[in-house]
Amino acid sequence: MLRYLTGRLLRAVLTIFLVITFAFFVLHLSGDPAMMILSADAPPESIKAFRAAWGLDRPLWVQYLAYVWNALHGDLGNSMRDGRPALQLVLERVPATLAITVPAFLLKLTIGIPAGIYAALHRNSLTDRLTMMVSVAGFTVPSFVLALVLVLVFSVQLGWLPSAGRDSATSAILPIVTLGIAGAAILARFTRSAMLEVLGQPYIRAASAKGLQWRKVVVQHALPNAAIPTTTIVGFMVGTLIAGAVVVESVFAWPGIGRLLVSSVSNRDLAVVQVILLLVAATMVTANIIVDVIYGWLDPRLRRGSRAR
Amino acid sequence: MIALLEVSNLARAYDVRRGRWPFAKPATLHAVDGVSFELPAGRTLGLVGESGCGKTTTAKLVLGLVPVSAGEVRVGGEALPAAHSPNWRALRRRMQMVYQDPLGALDRRLSVGRQVIEPLVIHGLGSAAERHEKALAMLDAVGLAQHHFDRFPHELSGGQRQRIVLARALMLDPQLLVCDEPISALDVSIQAQVVNLLLALQQKLGLAYLFISHDLRMVRQVSHEVAVMYLGRIVEQGDPDHLFATPAHPYTQALVSAIPTHARAKKRRIVLPGEPPNPVDRPAGCAFHPRCPHAVERCRIETPVLRTLADGRRAACHLAEQIA
Amino acid sequence: MAGSTRVCAGEAVRVRRFFEAWPPLTLLALGWIALMVIVALGADFFAPYSFTALDLRARLHPPVFMGGTWAHPLGSDELGRDVLSRLIMSIQLSLLIAFFGTMIAAAFGTAMGFVAAHFRGKVEAMILMLIDFQASMPFLIIALAVLAFFGNNLPLFVMLMGLNSWERYARIARGLTLSANEQGYAAAVRQLGASNLRVYGLHVLPNIASTLIVSMTITFPETILLESGLSFLGLGVQPPLTSLGNMVGYGREYLTRAPWIMLSPAAVIVLSTLSISIVGDWLRDRLDPTLR
């Protein structure tokens, strides 16, 4: 198991480096980094200072190393908007994003997984078909459409909930529900197929043939095995806690990272974009490691470190 | 007379690492280590041994699919060209391969007839009509009917598929067929039929076979000469009947004793201690010595060479005379 | 009397069999897709007005079924432009972008998969690393980053759409090619002396085509969603060009007063992605029942 984890850790570090390298190359391919990050009408002294700080007149591989060093410290320049360090700006927005993504994530889990399991256990029943129809909507309806429809119904027609901003206590409800529903639908469908695959296995039939109560068969045999693939997608959802609300935040004018990213892209405020990119990468990679650790614990084949020869 | 196939001191080693950790110690896997034999035209050499002894690697080396680490393969007196080079491709017309899994070796989307014709298409031989005719003739030669031409692989039985693979291999009129476990995937009743077909074709077309198998009885039936491999080396070689009746090498003795027979007065079966070792961790000296009931000190140190014994058999054992 | 009942029973069986092979939902989905393709191909012909034609006297007219006139069957927007015409042009552009994006992703991904499976070793390791990287980051973020750095122009945007999900094709192509190469038909044909072009072009590609096509029915809707999302945010298709996403984006401001501006493109997006998913599921069951 230790060997398995060390391998995964190595992979995670490699991915982060890959992202940093990717950002470095895209930055250099698209133009002069100093001009891009500082903006065209910055005073020549600050451009010179920037060049020195980033070593832009030194050979490329030196620049790369400097970039990597800076990236690992989160120092990728100041935002064009207000001159503050991009990292600070981004980190300020994190709580706002988490305020909607975390509850949405819990919503996804508490609705999606049970729905999927129920649908799998009562295959082809009315509830199953309904759940599947609703869940199909989850990945065919874009989040902005869902958001706008909800706003249309609940804000415009019914007037119950505010349609934008973070002013009142109820502002968060619509964004959370939008994120939650879409994710729950996807999770339900996925859980259902994982469960169906497990339930179709011979050992399930063997367990119930042994005379074990169906409920125990499900709880002791089916669920733990279905948990393994489900963990992957839940892990992915955890990874997108920071990045997954870009569109929703824009629709609801929610002051989080997603909205910051969109405005930074429009303004080409590259320092901020880089920081967000790296932050997202770091989150995804961390989530993957956690998933790998859980896998290592859940899957006895990995726990005992058996080698298939 | 130059033999059709001459193999001398063939060796193939792979660099491997123990475990997946990038800093693990590198090691060498000697898949094939010093194999030599000759195969005259129209004869069959049977190659037997357990999984991992290097039989399939030898087959690949002979066909030129894998480059040699040492030694030489000569076909008709000429050295093998590099794999997939134009000369190598031209050589395909002299030597072909028959596979273990006939379903996997066939493209499931194309009719078997088209696949039988394909070798001619690849090498640009004959007109369309001539190719079609030859394919039909070949189907007949392997014992299939004309209507099988348009069938698809999954519509045929295992035995029929293997016949198709055979037909396809013979379309280029090769002189040598390397058969790598050609019958292990088939039902026992079909195995005999396919083996008979192979023998008939050998008679008719003068084919030479390198017949690789772990099924000793089959090998005995088809081969003019048998070589037993263990961990990449040939440990015994000789006439099949002679070899199976009175094996000289301890390993062969154990193999032969394990053949199920219904003879009442069966000799006690020799059970070898231990497991077949990892080809990466080959024991020093004679590779077989950890499991050999007759091993002595010399076996630990000195690797025996394949030498001819007094009665004409060849075995790689220091104590061959005493054991027999 | 008995004779006619038997005839009716025979008819019923044939009808049932027809619907077993072609489930009604799939037929509807195929019908919608056909409609979209026809509209996309003949957009200039079908649109009653030019999509940029302003008519400031006919601003924010409701659609026909909400009290409007047939002059603007789906209503008009804030500049008097006909929603139906804009919708038709948007369908054309969005579908074109999604089509080219999917084709690029499929071609690139499959080629990478082939290269990885053919050369093995370091080349394969590198390609696997790229696949992992692509799979581990949400593509929306990568797309936004590239758009930030390079600015926005249509060809770049289409290329970007082409990079969405290439890794899925690469994985499939690599996996299936590996098994074909190892002990399979690809090794056999190569052993017969076939050139690599023949092996990959005539044998491997046709065999993996059905799996790839099923993947396309998954990535095509994803590309539509990606493009419309980016266009909605104002970062995708730029005016004066109109796409389904940016119609929804413009319609958002008039959500209270003129919801139809946003609802028709939204409906088209949903119905299109839904139809392709349904057809994809049906294709998957049809082409290879062992696939799941």
DSSP string, A257-304: HHHHHHHHHHHT-HHHHHHHHHHHHHHHHHHHHHHHHHHHHH-HHHHT
* Amino acid identity for residue B98 in this structure: V
Partner C contacted by B56 (CB < 8 A): no
Partner B contacted by C210 (CB < 8 A): no
- DSSP H or E stretch at residue B227: strand B225-230
For the record, the structure tokens of C96 come out as 């074109």
- DSSP H or E stretch at residue B210: strand B208-213
In the block, residue with structure tokens 């409920």:
A215
Partner B contacted by C151 (CB < 8 A): no
Q: Which residues of A touch B279 (CB under 8 A)?
A: none
Partner B contacted by C118 (CB < 8 A): no
- Distance from A294 to chain B by nearest Cα, in Å? 21
Distance between CA atoms of B316 and C11, rounded to whole angstroms?
A: 79
- Interface probe, candidates B107, B111, B154, B165, chain C, greatest C C-beta count within 10 A: B107
Are A144 and C149 an interchain contact pair (Cβ–Cβ within 8 Å)? no
Q: Can you say whether the dihedral through the CA atoms of A30, A31, A34, A38 is positive or negative?
A: negative
- Contacts with C211 (C-beta within 8 Å, 6 or more apart), sequence order: C172, C176, C288, C291
Out of B65-74, B76-85, C10-19, the most confident range is: B65-74
Lowest-pLDDT range of B1-15, B233-247, C1-15 = C1-15
Are A265 and C148 an interchain contact pair (Cβ–Cβ within 8 Å)? yes
In the block, residue with structure tokens 């084919």:
B207
The answer to whether A188 and A169 are in contact (CB under 8 A) is no
- Average pLDDT of span B151-158: 88
Beta bridge partners of B212: B47, B180
Nearest Cβ partner for C191 among B90, B97, B104: B97
Q: Can you say whether the dihedral through the CA atoms of C31, C33, C34, C39 is positive or negative?
A: positive
The answer to whether residue C272 scores a pLDDT higher than 90 is yes
CA-to-CA dists, residue B179 to A165, A249, A301, B110, B212, angstroms: 75, 66, 38, 23, 6
Q: List, for residues A105-129, the tens digit of each pLDDT value.
A: 999 999 999 988 888 888 878 888 8
The answer to whether B4 and B32 are in contact (CB under 8 A) is no
Q: List, for residues B109-123, the tens digit of each pLDDT value.
A: 888 999 999 999 998
Residues constituting chain A: 309
The confidence score (pLDDT) of residue A297 equals 76
Distance between CA atoms of B131 and B137, rounded to whole angstroms?
A: 10
pTM (2 decimals)?
Answer: 0.79
- Contacts with C130 (C-beta within 8 Å, 6 or more apart), sequence order: C112, C167
Chains near A with 3+ CB pairs less than 8 A apart are B, C
Q: Which residues of A touch C140 (CB under 8 A)?
A: 243, 246
Partner A contacted by B23 (CB < 8 A): no
Distance between CA atoms of B160 and B138, rounded to whole angstroms?
A: 13
Percent helix / strand / coil, chain C, rounded to 5? 75, 0, 25
- Under the banding of pLDDT at 50, 70 and 90, the label for residue C96 is very high
- Average pLDDT of span B68-84: 84
Q: Collapse the DSSP code of C290 into the 3-class scheme (helix H, G, I; strand E, B; otherwise coil) and give the result.
A: coil
The confidence score (pLDDT) of residue A308 equals 42
- Interface probe, candidates B16, B17, B20, B51, chain A, greatest A C-beta count within 10 A: B20
Distance between CA atoms of C122 and C264, rounded to whole angstroms?
A: 50
- Contacts with B28 (C-beta within 8 Å, 6 or more apart), sequence order: B13, B14, B15, B16, B280
Are B97 and C183 an interchain contact pair (Cβ–Cβ within 8 Å)? no
- Contacts with B261 (C-beta within 8 Å, 6 or more apart), sequence order: none
The answer to whether residue B20 scores a pLDDT higher than 70 is no
The confidence score (pLDDT) of residue B268 equals 67
* Residue predicted with more confidence, A51 or B159: B159
* Amino acid identity for residue C277 in this structure: S
Are C233 and A277 an interchain contact pair (Cβ–Cβ within 8 Å)? no
Q: List, for residues A262-304, the tens digit of each pLDDT value.
A: 988 888 787 888 888 888 888 888 888 888 888 777 777 666 5
Q: Which residues of B touch C191 (CB under 8 A)?
A: 63, 65, 92, 96-97
- Average pLDDT of span C263-269: 91
Distance between CA atoms of A250 and A258, rounded to whole angstroms?
A: 7
Q: State the pairing for strand pair B233-238/B225-230.
A: antiparallel
Q: Which residues of B touch C184 (CB under 8 A)?
A: 104-105
DSSP 8-state code for residue B130: H
CA-to-CA dists, residue B62 to B49, B88, C196, angstroms: 17, 12, 21
The confidence score (pLDDT) of residue B18 equals 61
The answer to whether A218 and A149 are in contact (CB under 8 A) is no
The confidence score (pLDDT) of residue C50 equals 78
- Under the banding of pLDDT at 50, 70 and 90, the label for residue A309 is very low
Q: List, for residues C224-245, the tens digit of each pLDDT value.
A: 999 999 999 988 888 888 899 9
Q: State the pairing for strand pair B44-48/B208-213.
A: parallel
Q: Please, what is the average pLDDT of chain A?
A: 81
The answer to whether residue C188 scores a pLDDT higher than 70 is yes
For B291, other C-beta atoms within 10 Å of its C-beta total 18
Partner C contacted by B123 (CB < 8 A): yes
- Average pLDDT of span A12-19: 82
- Under the banding of pLDDT at 50, 70 and 90, the label for residue A307 is very low
The confidence score (pLDDT) of residue C100 equals 93
The confidence score (pLDDT) of residue C83 equals 85
The confidence score (pLDDT) of residue B215 equals 84
Partner B contacted by C185 (CB < 8 A): yes
The answer to whether residue B310 scores a pLDDT higher than 60 is yes
Partner B contacted by A7 (CB < 8 A): yes
- Interface probe, candidates B16, B18, B21, B280, chain A, greatest A C-beta count within 10 A: B21
The answer to whether residue C291 scores a pLDDT higher than 50 is no
Are A7 and B20 an interchain contact pair (Cβ–Cβ within 8 Å)? yes
Distance of CA C3 to the CA centre of its chain: 50
Q: List, for residues A17-43, the tens digit of each pLDDT value.
A: 888 888 888 777 776 666 666 666 667
- Average pLDDT of span C66-93: 83
Which stretches of chain C sit within 8 Å of chain A by CB? 129, 132-133, 136-138, 140-142, 144-151, 221, 225, 228-229, 232-235, 248, 252, 255-256, 259, 262, 266, 269-270, 273-274, 277, 292
Q: Which residues of A touch C279 (CB under 8 A)?
A: none
Partner C contacted by B57 (CB < 8 A): no
Compare all CA atoms of chain B with the CA of A8 and give the residue at the minimum distance: B21
Compare all CA atoms of chain A with the CA of B22 and give the residue at the minimum distance: A7
For the record, the structure tokens of B180 come out as 């790598």
Q: Which residues of C touch A280 (CB under 8 A)?
A: 137-138, 141
Q: What's the order of all strands across the beta sheet hosting B26-39? A: B26-39, B5-17, B70-75, B78-79
Are C133 and A22 an interchain contact pair (Cβ–Cβ within 8 Å)? yes
The answer to whether residue C107 scores a pLDDT higher than 90 is yes
Partner C contacted by B107 (CB < 8 A): yes
- DSSP H or E stretch at residue B28: strand B26-39
In the block, residue with structure tokens 């009931």:
B293
Distance of CA C235 to the CA centre of its chain: 20
The confidence score (pLDDT) of residue C227 equals 93
Partner B contacted by A30 (CB < 8 A): no
The answer to whether B281 and B232 are in contact (CB under 8 A) is no
- Under the banding of pLDDT at 50, 70 and 90, the label for residue C292 is very low
Phi, psi dihedrals of residue B76, rounded to the nearest 5°? 60, 30
- Average pLDDT of span C58-68: 77
For the record, the structure tokens of A209 come out as 């043939």
Distance of CA B73 to the CA centre of its chain: 15
Nearest Cβ partner for B109 among C183, C193, C207: C207
Has the ipTM of the complex gone over 0.90?
A: no
Q: List, for residues A53-94, the tens digit of each pLDDT value.
A: 666 667 777 777 877 877 777 677 777 667 778 888 888 888
Q: What's the order of all strands across the beta sheet hosting B208-213? A: B95-98, B176-180, B208-213, B44-48, B225-230, B233-238, B314-315, B307-308
Partner B contacted by A216 (CB < 8 A): no
Partner C contacted by B38 (CB < 8 A): no
Percent helix / strand / coil, chain B, rounded to 5? 35, 20, 45
Q: Which residues of C touch B97 (CB under 8 A)?
A: 188, 191
- Under the banding of pLDDT at 50, 70 and 90, the label for residue A306 is very low
With the CA atoms of C143, C148, C154 and C159 taken in that order, what torsion angle do they form, in degrees rounded to the nearest 10? Answer: -40
